[in-house]
Structure 1
Amino acid sequence: MTNEKIDFKKLSKFSRHAPRYTSYPTAVEFKDLSEDEILPFLKSDKPLSLYFHLPFCKSACYFCGCNVIYTSKADKRTKYIEYLEKELETLSKHLDTSRVVRQVHFGGGTPTFFTPEELAEVYALIKKHFKNYEKDAEISVEIDPRFFSREHMDVMKEFGVNRISFGVQDFNEETQKAVNRIQPFDLTKEAVDIAREAGINSINIDLIYGLPYQSLETFKKTLDLVLKLNPDRLAVFNYAHVPWMKKGMRKIDETTLPSPEEKLKIFKYVIDFFENNGYIMVGMDHFAKPEDELFKAIEKGELHRNFQGYTTKGGADLIGVGLTSIGETEDVYMQNYKDLKNYEKAVDEGKIPVFRGVILSEEDKIRKYIIMEMMANFSFDIKRFENKFGINFFDKFKDEVKELQEFVDEGLVEITPEKIKVNKTGSLLIRNIVLPFDEYFKKMANQKVFSKSV
Structure 2
Amino acid sequence: MMENILDKDFMTKTLYSDIQELLESRKNSSLFNTSYPLSPSQWTHYIADINLPFDWTLPIAFYIHIPFCKQLCSFCEYTKMRLPNENDQLRYVENIINDIRQFIAKHENIMLYGFDIGGGTPTALSEKTFAVLMNWFGGYIASANVLKDFEASIEATFQTLTINKIALIAANGIKRVSLGLQSSSENVLKPLHRSVDSCQNMSFAIQQLHQAGIDKVNIDLMYGLPGQSIDTLIRDIATIKELNPEQVTIYEFRTNQLAHSFETNLEICYQQYCKLYDELTNLGYNGVFGQNTFSKKATDCGLSSYLRHRMFDGWQYKGFGISSQSMSQSGLSYNIGKNAPVSKYLSDSILSYEATKSYILPSQEVFAKFIAVSGYSGGFSISVARKILGNEFDAKYRNTIKFLFSENLITIKNDRLQLTKSGFRYYGAILSLFHSPQIIQG
Q: TM-score, normalised by structure 2?
A: 0.78
Matched residue, 1:213: 227
Matched residue, 1:391: 391
* 2:373 is the counterpart of 1:378: no
- 1:310-351 CA-to-partner distances (Å, cap 9, x unmatched) read 46xx575311111111112222211101244775689857x6
Q: 1:342 to 1:332 in 2, by over 3 A?
A: farther
Matched residue, 1:52: 64
Following superposition, the deviation at residue 361 of structure 1 comes to 2.2
Q: Secondary structure at the match of 1:104?
A: strand
The 1-side partners of 2:61 and 2:302 are apart by 21
Matched residue, 1:278: 284
Following superposition, the deviation at residue 385 of structure 1 comes to 6.3
Matched residue, 2:4: none
Whether contact under 8 Å (2:48, 2:359) holds in the other structure is no
Q: Secondary structure at the match of 1:91?
A: helix
Whether contact under 8 Å (2:180, 2:220) holds in the other structure is yes
Q: 1:172 to 1:93 in 2, by over 3 A?
A: same
Whether contact under 8 Å (2:281, 2:287) holds in the other structure is yes
The 2-side partners of 1:417 and 1:275 are apart by 24
* Greater Cα shift, 353-362 or 228-237: 353-362
- 1:158-186 CA-to-partner distances (Å, cap 9, x unmatched) read 11011111100111121222122112222
RMSD, aligned α-carbons: 3.9
Q: Secondary structure at the match of 1:354?
A: coil
Whether contact under 8 Å (1:305, 1:375) holds in the other structure is no
The 2-side partners of 1:345 and 1:32 are apart by 31
Q: What amino acid does structure 2 have at the position aligned with 1:57?
A: C
* 2:113 is the counterpart of 1:83: no
* Greater Cα shift, 26-35 or 330-339: 26-35
The 1-side partners of 2:430 and 2:348 are apart by 40
Matched residue, 1:287: 294
Following superposition, the deviation at residue 136 of structure 1 comes to 4.0
The 2-side partners of 1:417 and 1:209 are apart by 31
Matched residue, 1:64: 76
* 2:126 is the counterpart of 1:115: yes
Q: 1:336 to 1:89 in 2, by over 3 A?
A: same
The 2-side partners of 1:267 and 1:155 are apart by 35
The 1-side partners of 2:62 and 2:229 are apart by 38
Whether contact under 8 Å (1:57, 1:109) holds in the other structure is yes
The 2-side partners of 1:266 and 1:315 are apart by 28
Q: 1:95 to 1:343 in 2, by over 3 A?
A: farther
Matched residue, 1:434: 431
Q: What amino acid does structure 2 have at the position aligned with 1:293?
A: D
- 1:86-139 CA-to-partner distances (Å, cap 9, x unmatched) read 32343234333x423221101011101113332221133345656314254211
Question: Residues 406-421 of structure 1 correspond to what in structure 2 (within 5 A)?
Answer: 407-414=404-411
Whether contact under 8 Å (1:407, 1:413) holds in the other structure is yes
Q: 1:84 to 1:34 in 2, by over 3 A?
A: farther
The 2-side partners of 1:64 and 1:419 are apart by 31
The 2-side partners of 1:416 and 1:166 are apart by 33
Whether contact under 8 Å (1:328, 1:334) holds in the other structure is yes
Q: Secondary structure at the match of 1:82?
A: helix
* 2:281 is the counterpart of 1:268: no
Q: 1:228 to 1:258 in 2, by over 3 A?
A: farther
Match of 2:136 among 111, 125, 146: 125
Following superposition, the deviation at residue 379 of structure 1 comes to 5.7
Whether contact under 8 Å (2:363, 2:388) holds in the other structure is no
- 1:229-284 CA-to-partner distances (Å, cap 9, x unmatched) read 112221111111336xx5xx43xx94xx8865544443222121112221232343
The 1-side partners of 2:388 and 2:405 are apart by 26
* 2:331 is the counterpart of 1:332: yes
Q: 1:304 to 1:377 in 2, by over 3 A?
A: farther
Q: 1:58 to 1:171 in 2, by over 3 A?
A: same
Matched residue, 1:166: 179
Q: Secondary structure at the match of 1:293?
A: coil
* 2:360 is the counterpart of 1:359: yes
The 2-side partners of 1:386 and 1:147 are apart by 44
Q: Secondary structure at the match of 1:167?
A: strand
Q: 1:187 to 1:295 in 2, by over 3 A?
A: closer
Question: Residues 194-213 of structure 1 correspond to what in structure 2 (within 5 A)?
Answer: 194-213=208-227
Q: 1:37 to 1:280 in 2, by over 3 A?
A: same
Structure 1: gaps of 5 or more residues: 1-9, 298-302, 447-454
* 2:233 is the counterpart of 1:191: no
Following superposition, the deviation at residue 198 of structure 1 comes to 1.5
* Greater Cα shift, 272-281 or 139-148: 272-281
Match of 2:162 among 149, 157, 178: 149
Q: TM-score, normalised by structure 1?
A: 0.76
The 1-side partners of 2:302 and 2:131 are apart by 33
Q: 1:406 to 1:37 in 2, by over 3 A?
A: same
The 2-side partners of 1:149 and 1:221 are apart by 26
The 2-side partners of 1:408 and 1:136 are apart by 34
* Overall identity of the aligned pairs, in %: 20
The 2-side partners of 1:276 and 1:346 are apart by 53
Matched residue, 1:225: 239
Q: 1:372 to 1:108 in 2, by over 3 A?
A: closer
Q: Secondary structure at the match of 2:284?
A: coil
Whether contact under 8 Å (1:63, 1:179) holds in the other structure is yes
Q: What amino acid does structure 1 have at the position aligned with 2:207?
A: D
Q: 1:193 to 1:88 in 2, by over 3 A?
A: same
Q: Secondary structure at the match of 2:219?
A: strand
Whether contact under 8 Å (2:317, 2:326) holds in the other structure is yes
- 1:2-30 CA-to-partner distances (Å, cap 9, x unmatched) read xxxxxxxx99x9454354436x6998745
Matched residue, 2:420: 423
Matched residue, 1:5: none
Matched residue, 1:318: 317
* Greater Cα shift, 322-331 or 71-80: 71-80
Following superposition, the deviation at residue 365 of structure 1 comes to 4.7
**In the comparison of the two structures, how many residue pairs are matched?**
409
Structure 2: gaps of 5 or more residues: 1-22
Q: Secondary structure at the match of 1:51?
A: strand
Q: Secondary structure at the match of 2:433?
A: helix
